[in-house]
Structure 1
Amino acid sequence: MTRVRPIVERMHAYVPGEQPAGGRVIKLNTNENPYPPAPGVIAAVAAAASADLRLYPEPSAKPLREEAARCYGVRPEQVLVGNGSDELLTMLMRAIVGVDDIVVFPEPTYSLYDTLVTIQEGRSLTIPFPPDFTLPPALWAAEGQLMMICNPNAPSGSITPIATIAELASGFDGVVVVDEAYVDFAPASATALPLLGSHDNMIVLRTFSKSFSLAGMRIGLAFGHPDLLAQIAKVKDSYNLNRVAIVAGVAALVEIAWMQRNVARIVTSRARLCERLAGLGYDVLPSAANFVLARRPGEDQGPVQAALRARGILVRHFATDRLRDALRISVGTDEEIDRLLTELGALRQP
């Protein structure tokens, strides 16, 4: 006798990257920022640890919505907050996707999309990326309630010009979600935020987990038309962002220059990592994110991942036909990258 919905019993859960419990491990597997958050963020979090923690937070995280609106040039009613952008994805699916409704996205991409569609008993219409990871032409003919575009894409790091996204959204009757978790590592022109004024069917997602070094806080933002966000907010959890996270998010935006300096360091290290990986015989896709996808065509990289793990270095391997010959490697500090390259070089020795 089962006590859960049949779809839940049948489905495969989302598998997050490994999070070791302590120890001297180089973590290059979950695209966390190798540098700490701004000093003002740490101070604000410490100050928030007060007797006021007995009180519920402001239900809509108004201080954070107002600061995000100021920072990104929109109105507060165009901002919805979540417990990470993953919760915002869940809210979108709850509000938009019903039984047998179609969600369209290219693949491979962020695997949580398909998991959330399954929970709603919807249908994923997946369209394979071509080898260069440009958007597949079949997307333009696709129909559905929701379309997901991860930009820059994970796990490829590839970027789609916003003119292409605008064209795609103009021809799609449903809601187009542009997941910009990694956009701060791309050129400034990469964001779809300027398209919101002309596309009321578009939602742009951001996270504080990557560029702002706040993965442990779980803070996400959704930008879109106020009417659409108001409908989505109906299905959010009550008090979904805690008091400390709200304070941390505001402080991070106030000190956004700190984040931008860290991003510049990561972009420089990314170029160096790509060059050195190529020297070790890997095919490395151009990346606009804080990670790279490195391939050895025809060679399963699972054993390489396992060997690196045994040496205290975590990278991500996806055991799928399309990605079996690839490693996704987060951009760490230069010292971490040097250690990775040394170990990879040793593994390549006959």
Structure 2
Amino acid sequence: MPAPPTAPTRVGPQGGDPRARGASVRVDLSTCVCRYGPPPPALAAARGVSAEALRAHPYGAVDQLLEAYGRYLGVPAGDLVAGRGVSELVWQLAAGPLGERVVVPVPAYTEFRQAFPGAAVGAPGVHHPLGVIAEALGSGAVVLVANPHNPSGRAFGAQELAAVAAAHPQGVLVVDESYVEFCADPATFSLVGAHLANLVVLRSPSKFFGLAGCRVGVAWSPVPALRRGVDRPRGSWPVSALEVAPAAAALADTAWASATRAQLVEDGAWLDRQVGPL
């Protein structure tokens, strides 16, 4: 099968840097970080990191992160790979054995385009259709997408994406779910736990939990070979204890997550009312 058509390769800079805009900017729509975070237990955990923990090398930090995420996602910790945020895991994918096969349906997250220059497929627009993903998987590619989509916010249902991946086992689907907690019912959209042999899911507390300053994240896959595809050698301490402590505390605060999700649904309805008449 011929390779999918490529799209223009021009990539702009990453957003969210307040130094680039100056003090006059009140709202930055490029970051998509929840304004209600971090959860109070995360702040308490950060303040509670002891001097002894700071002096010691963070040998247990990876295990702590994977165990916290395993509980949060309801999957074995052994099916997870730790990284310094989704961004590092994406670059790990680029450096690994799967990197040469990656394609990125556009429009797409800036970091995807930077990690895989020349890998864009489809046509520029508001959102890439499901058919572009299916076509790329059918060509045997490793397809990197965000769901919910960044930057449009549109989300494919988990069953939709799972059906496409199952229909094209010759390809690999890598899904960044950094924004899935913003959905009213995240389980409807998340592929974590799906029984697919060609699936990798990326997760991070950066966006929903307001912890973008803590560079931690995980990749989940039921397939060891695919986990190795994002788990390249990075030295003895790939994450720090200072960052894992608040992340683990945030993931455990299910009451805050439920309340914040409900508030965001109300906020979204309010925003629709404000911009709808424009």
Report the Cα distance in structure 1 between the residues aligned to 2:114 and 2:10, rounded to whole angstroms. Answer: 7
SS of residue in 1 equivalent to 2:65: helix
Q: What corresponds to 1:247 in structure 2?
A: 245
- Structure 1 position 169, deviation (Å): 1.3
SS of residue in 2 equivalent to 1:205: strand
Give per-residue Cα distances to partners, 1:35-80, cap 9 Å, x unaligned.
1312211111111141321222126610111121122111011111
1:161-310 → structure 2 map (5 Å cutoff): 161-170=157-166, 171-186=168-183, 187-188=185-186, 189-195=188-194, 198-225=195-222, 227=224, 228-236=226-234, 238-280=236-278
From the CA coordinates, give the structure whose radius of gyration is larger: 1
Report the Cα distance in structure 2 between the residues aligned to 1:155 and 1:234, rounded to whole angstroms. Answer: 28
Report the Cα distance in structure 1 between the residues aligned to 2:262 and 2:181, rounded to whole angstroms. Answer: 10
Code of the residue aligned with 2:277 in structure 1: it is G
- Structure 1 position 167, deviation (Å): 2.0
Q: Percent identity?
A: 28
Q: What corresponds to 2:121 in structure 1?
A: 126
Q: Relative contact order: is structure 1 or structure 2 higher (C-alpha 8 Å, sep ≥ 6)? A: 2
Report the Cα distance in structure 1 between the residues aligned to 2:233 and 2:161, rounded to whole angstroms. Answer: 27
- Structure 1 position 104, deviation (Å): 2.3
Q: What corresponds to 2:110 in structure 1?
A: 111
Report the Cα distance in structure 1 between the residues aligned to 2:223 and 2:68, rounded to whole angstroms. Answer: 17
Report the Cα distance in structure 2 between the residues aligned to 1:237 and 1:144, rounded to whole angstroms. Answer: 32
Aligned residue among 147, 150, 155 for 2:151: 155
8 Å contact kept, 2:147–2:156: yes
Q: What corresponds to 1:69 in structure 2?
A: 70
Structure with more strand by fraction: 1
Q: What corresponds to 1:137 in structure 2?
A: 131
8 Å contact kept, 2:203–2:217: yes
Report the Cα distance in structure 2 between the residues aligned to 1:53 and 1:88, rounded to whole angstroms. Answer: 25
Go from structure 1 to structure 2 and tell me whether the alpha carbon gap of 1:191 and 1:136 turns closer, same or farther (over 3 Å shift). closer
8 Å contact kept, 1:82–1:241: yes
Go from structure 1 to structure 2 and tell me whether the alpha carbon gap of 1:236 and 1:164 turns closer, same or farther (over 3 Å shift). farther
Go from structure 1 to structure 2 and tell me whether the alpha carbon gap of 1:14 and 1:90 turns closer, same or farther (over 3 Å shift). farther
Matched residues, number: 261
Q: Is 2:29 the partner of 1:15?
A: no
- Runs of 5+ in structure 1 lacking a partner? 1-10, 281-350
Per the normalisation by structure 2, the TM-score is 0.84
Code of the residue aligned with 1:94 in structure 2: it is A
8 Å contact kept, 2:105–2:143: no
Report the Cα distance in structure 2 between the residues aligned to 1:24 and 1:258, rounded to whole angstroms. Answer: 31
Report the Cα distance in structure 1 between the residues aligned to 2:199 and 2:130, rounded to whole angstroms. Answer: 19
